Structure 1
Amino acid sequence: MSDVDPSLRPLDDLIQASCDGLLDDASLRELERRLSADAEARRSFAEAHLVHSEIRFVVRSRHASEALRTQLRDVATDGPTIASPARRWSLRRFAPTETVGKLAAAVVLFALGWGFLAMGRPRPATAPATSEPSNVAWLVNAQDCQWAADESEMPGRDMRAGKLLKLRVGLAEIEFDQGARVLLQGPAIVELLTGNSARLVSGKMTAQVPPRAKGFMVLSPTGKVVDLGTEFGLTVDDRGNTTVKVFKGEVQASPLATPDKRSPALTLLKDQVALIAPRSVEIEDPTVQGEDASRFVRAIDPPRVIVPRSLELDFSAPRPGTLSDAAGMGIGLTHRLPGTGSSLPGLDPNLRLDPAARALRLTTTRSDINKQTNLARGEYLGFRLADLGFTGAEDFEISATIPEIPGLEQVGQFGLYAGRKSDSNIRGGLISQNERDQYRLFLVNNDGGIDADIHEIGVMNTGEDLKLTLRRRRGRYSLIVENQTRQSSSTLSIAHRPFLDGAADLYVGVFGANTQSDVSKTLTIRNVSVTVLSSRLASLPTSLDGFRLASSQDFP
């Protein structure tokens, strides 16, 4: 273990320690972080482990060859028998000398050949390069795992026969020495038996068995399953009842053997399900299996990564093809909230682009989303989210800076909105109070044209500089108001109503309205930005043989 802060260690140092099996937990996390962030680092990691594996196997094959040559030379010279602490053996019985020579050549070629074949199939990247030959399996992939508190029941360098693994939550993929791969679904307990067998004590697992591992066996409290070249799932419930389901190929399922009777085996084919009892195996109807019993995870999907798609508008120049101000300059905003602004002219007298000040001046009109009053002249300007790839499922946010906020008459309001149309939206911002030149923050649902669930907090004064952000995360809406004058911020949330859930035709934007007064005021709007948080499956490098790289999936 190194006393150096892992974040200060060179990448090559961390990779070499990984090859040597000398990484502590902190260094392992640091290596995963760097691999996740840098494709070149991932290539270096894979190349280093491949070279290390090749060297290891070549050295082992050479050692085996030299040892055999020494033994054969001793035999040929009638020397003493080679002895090891665990076992004594002799090749004298292979005389005459010609036979010994042929055997030596055959065994040496076999040792060398096996070494070079092994070079073509290195151990999984997560397997410690210096692990003992007695290790029978390796953890090769994991997702959202929580293991038992006892370290002896977690995956580690000791993955020998008899090792008990207790997975509380998550998915963990284990590769056995002969090539079978088992995917555990937490909670589950499994015991490693050999390089080609295990015991499922409780929980759920699936197994993928390549041809070289045919005969892979899983024991359970009531019986056993022997693979015949296949993919299958196995569950053991709290009472020890065992159910097996075949996805591909076939397996043999048999109950526990009794002292006076050999346990009968039943061959199961693709899509067949069987219940293994202590004294029998009975085929079940897969259509009557409980939902939980039939829900097997057969592969760990790569983690999803967030891909922000953003649009930023600073009003520094006209934008042709967008909504026009009174002078005919494109202001950059592209759409009105459906149901608003229908009677406003193409050259909108309430809008003035000011490129020199990098600002849009918006003069409020007498209109009100609540009760749908005079919305044909309402100023609700923004963007269509579908133009940023929005399909209805993604999260998103819109923000705008409004400096030196003016004093609207009572109930006058300005801020941000998100919605399908004028009578189906969520809006938030500032609403004026009885006291002159004072506002409260608000966030409100409007489903059917009537405001509901309004949340109001705090007091703001005219003349202050604000940045507003309307945000949707996991389907829930909130409003963040940053007072840049006071260097403070407030966040409002609102009761969730499903009327916008899954809607693909959403619009977002800014608005200003003197709802119950004919006195209009002008808002200055700067720096409008919209972000849609699309997601996709991460592409994990195949050279890492399934090693899961940690990746942040939460956009701040």
Structure 2
Amino acid sequence: MNTSDDSRPFDLVHELVTKQLEGSATEADQQQLAAAVTGDTDVRREYIEYMQETAHIASRLVHPQPTKSMANSQVLEAFDSADLAGTTHQSGRSFSPAIAVSAVVLLAASLAIWQVFVGQQTPATPTLIANQSHVATLIHSAGVVWDSQHRAVDELSRVSIGQKLCIHEGTLKLVFDSGVEALLLAPCLMEVQDRDRVYCTYGRIAAKAGPHGSGFVIDTPVARVTDLGTEFGVAISDSGETEVAVFEGEVDVELGSADQRRQQTVSTKREHLVQGQATRVGRDGRSRRIQSIDNQRLPGVRDLAPLHSKSPVIAAVRDNLSERRPESRMFYRIVHAGLREDCKAFVDRDHQWNGVSEDGIPTDLIGADYVMPFNDDKFADDLEVRVTVAQPATVYLFFNDNIAVPPWLADKFQDTGIDLGLDEAAHRFNHSRRLAVGPAASIDRTFSIWKCVVDEPQDLVLGSFERPDDVQLGYNMYGIAAVAQ
């Protein structure tokens, strides 16, 4: 591989792919590799060259089996039957049989999704285009129990138009040829109707569109959701009631069943949702606001795993805005065990929480449940936010330092004397902001950390605050977190 001009793409690909092959890659590593490959042409080129080189080495250790596909179990069978010894790469790196197995499996996965990254078929994947009804690849499954009435699908297998995926337990990850990633959470019944359309009878689906994936449609018994370049989640109950939440970008939601939409029997025909908005569509084809969404119930496609598996501390969040603004569709996102460096702070901004020094976020807060409110609520007068605390806990509130402390905060909470930083992304008030990675790398705002000890389950009521004297300096909504006692 030629890295004489710039070694950075090679170094990134080599480090992350090697971790995957050796089984030491964390979920954060996998997220970084996926983001790098989908977002950078140089990294994509280095990735495929590296995987081709790795597969070439692996192929010298495996006898060809032309009559078999390269599914995981068949690759393992080939290695089980071969008398293999470790070999050495030309650069001197050790290349073990275990890594060779992983290399072939990972290459099969990479070739299956490579057409998604570059927007075209490659000569190395002729089997992927032999059947024109194939429109997606199942790239990962975890803890899956398939319904006995529907055909199970192996990892790395292609999925066809008309095929139904029905699972009682576990999760499935699909990559559509259009560039859409989809995460299915059980129980779920979904039918693939086209390369950019599915029908979900019940279950939960999170979808993330790539640069060419706009227009992906999820039909449900009571709504049609059309992606407009975004990441969103859809949850369909057994009765067909449908919840839609936009994590990034925007979607169109057509209300009512297919028959209702054709007959135009619903008074409000369509809703346009943007980042931080959600709606629930009932059997009658009418919609209403969803006040809060738990990331355990409806995660994003690439959400990091919770930092622990303890019981949730924050059960729900709601406010008093629906009575005054019935058209509002903004939601609070509850992130269980998710507070960490570079975690997203608000549903309607891409700002991130970070430690103000190299020591990072205070250790007592790492892994806390936290709430992503909408930053625009900083403009709301007489705001009342009710946080349902499900167990005895210490509740923390992050309050912008350039804002006068309101009475409700001083009465219920105690200032810890510790600060937290906010790294601001570009937004409509400041287009020059840029995110950085890690603690203290780019702190645009400083927040004081206040705490309140809650001895029993209860609703904790928070309020609004006065705008600073100089609004040109900028300010933000407060953050909320909780740790079990």
Range into which the TM-score falls when normalised by the shorter chain: 0.3 to 0.5
Q: TM-score, normalised by structure 1?
A: 0.35
Q: Which has the larger radius of gyration?
A: 1
Q: TM-score, normalised by structure 2?
A: 0.40
Higher relative contact order (CA 8 A, sep 6+): 1
